[in-house]
A and B are shown apart, each in its own frame.
Chain A
Amino acid sequence: MACPRCGHELPAEALQPQGSRCAACGAYVEGIVFPAFFRAEERSIGEQVVSGEAACFFHPDRIAAFPCARCGRFLCALCRISWAGENICTACVEALYKTDQGRALASSRFHFDSLALTIATLPILTWVFSLLTAPLALGFALFTWRRECSIVPRSKIRFMAAILFSLLTIAGWVVFWAYVIRRAPHTAPGQIG
């Protein structure tokens, strides 16, 4: 077994609650092994099919062990995918990706709220660009408000901060331009100077 920190070989005593130290890097390691470690080998090897027995849909030479809960195909131990308490096949997993239920299989999510907040706040360094980015951030935050940013609990605080910051920036610009226009010299049309 390898040390998680340096990859050096660890003694078997490391897999005990008392733990042990890696001889190479000195890292303290303690761990526990679960029954799945011992079951893994036997589960990976499917039995050969004999005449008269149901065979796996994907591996005709292997005994079918489970039916797919969605499409009913017979599956061997290798092909079975346990998902939400059901045994399903790879084809059904692919189909699930396209459905609403497939969110549980999502591999990534984009943080629209963080991007909106960044667009709203980053131009504070170069304030001139905030004339463009503030409305952009406001529109982006409102447009993506209902989009799913994460499959784990995540508050709307970033969206709210982005909207608030954008509104404040826009208000600041309105005040600034109002001040500039009021201070500008009034000239009649066609009059020079």
Chain B
Amino acid sequence: MAEQSARYQPLAGRRGIHLGNVRAWRSPDHLLLVENRFFTEHYTRLFWADIEAILLYGLQTRSSLLLALELASLLSVLAVLFSRAGWPSLAALVFFPFYALWRIWRPHWACQVDTRTNRKQFALAGTLTTCRRLVQEMQNTVALAQGGLPETPRDQPALIDAMPQAVSYRSRPLPKQPFLGVHVIAFVLGILSPFSVLVFVLYCPALIAAWFFQQDFRFPLAIRSAAVMSQIFAVVRIAAWLLSLSRLRFYFVPLVFNHWRFGLPQVVFSLYGIVAVYWRSMELAKPQQKSATVLGLS
């Protein structure tokens, strides 16, 4: 095992680029992408000699209005929940900056690696400069394996010039988009959950499923944000529910399941979710208008 593991080195000095659910490792002859699904990791090997193109592109994560709306709604919810509490308000004050930092410092860039038979996308950490350095490292390794690139590809676009202007890139489909239905189910159940305990019981497994499915970085920002916020809210509700069932008498136990204080957060999160989903529908509409196709019919 040790011999096998020693073959893999972290890409760009990081211990596996670990954003989203894919990590990238390099070995002398291939790039290894490790994708985690529950308790199993799946491997994809992209051999340096077979890599045809590497693309660096921006993700849909820099929508500042939506981010501000999300943080504002979270802050308002925390303020309402812990307005009269003592130490929980301190916990909320600590939690909020951490969440805000995590939310802002999300992956903004991703990499697409194409081979003749495969196309893989994975998120990259850090700024554009850091990502460029990482892509450069991959480029150098590919150049060593294929032996055809100039020393500084950025300065010498000889290869680019050799390429025909109307490049006929083989029409490989983009990787399958993650399944979004589970988010819709969780979101609808979350809105209806105050009206029925049964719906709330259904809401919890839907959230757990959403938690696993939404890890993929390719999820649109809006859907992903709505799912994350729903999950945070659900955790608060579950904790309050368990506390109300227990015999422990904390002084914030009056914040019980379905207490009025949970009504306002529910409304805030619902409004946030509606805006987020609407935003997503607008984003989807743009490419369809440009390509003049609707549901695949031109």
| Chain A residues engaging chain B, CB cutoff 8 angstroms | 1-9, 12, 14-17, 19, 23-25, 27-37, 40, 44, 82, 84-85, 103-104, 106-111, 114-115, 118, 125, 148, 150-154
Contacts and interface: CB of A to CB of B under 8 A. Distances in A.
8 contacts: A5-B60, A15-B53, A17-B153, A29-B57, A31-B55, A33-B160, A148-B1, A152-B16
B157 A115 contact: no
B8 A34 contact: no
Contacts of B42: 107-108
Given A3-B57, A25-B283, A29-B55, A84 B29 contact: yes
B34 A152 contact: yes
Most chain B CB inside 10 Å of its own CB: which residue of A106, A125, A153? A153
A35 B29 contact: no
Contacts of A36: 49-52, 115-116, 146
Contacts of A15: 53, 160, 163, 167
B58 to A, nearest CB: 4
A20 to B, nearest CB: 10
Contact of B43 (A6, A40, A84, A107): A107
Contacts of B1: 148
Contacts of B15: 153
A4 B55 contact: yes
Contact of B54 (A3, A24, A27, A31): A31
Contact of B157 (A9, A17, A27): A17
Contact of B142 (A6, A34, A103): A34
A104 B47 CA distance: 13
B129 interface: no
B290 A24 contact: yes
Contacts of B159: 32-33, 35
A106 B171 CA distance: 29
Interface string B3-25: 01111100000011000000101
Interface in B52-77: 52-60
Interface residues of B, number: 61
A35 B142 CA distance: 10
Contacts of B283: 25
The 9 closest A-B pairs by CB, nearest first: A35-B148, A31-B55, A37-B52, A24-B287, A17-B154, A1-B169, A28-B58, A4-B112, A29-B57
Interface string B128-164: 0000000000010011001111000110010110010
B8 A1 contact: no
A33 B57 contact: no
B166 interface: yes
A12 to B, nearest CB: 5
Given A34-B53, A150-B41, A12 B121 contact: no
Given A4-B110, A6-B287, 16 more contacts: A4-B57, A4-B112, A5-B57, A5-B58, A7-B287, A12-B167, A17-B157, A27-B60, A32-B54, A34-B142, A35-B147, A35-B159, A36-B116, A104-B7, A108-B42, A151-B32
B291 interface: yes
B39 interface: yes
B209 to A, nearest CB: 16
B157 A16 contact: yes
A22 B57 CA distance: 10
Contact of B121 (A4, A9, A84): A4
B297 to A, nearest CB: 16
A111 B57 contact: no
Contacts of B25: 152
A8 B287 contact: yes
A41 B69 CA distance: 50
B107 to A, nearest CB: 13
Contacts of B4: 103-104, 151
B286 A109 contact: no
A108 B40 contact: yes
Most chain A CB inside 10 Å of its own CB: which residue of B41, B167, B291? B41
Contact of B174 (A7, A14, A104, A148): A7
Nearest to A8: B287
Contacts of A31: 53-56, 112
Given A35-B146, A84-B29, A27 B57 contact: yes
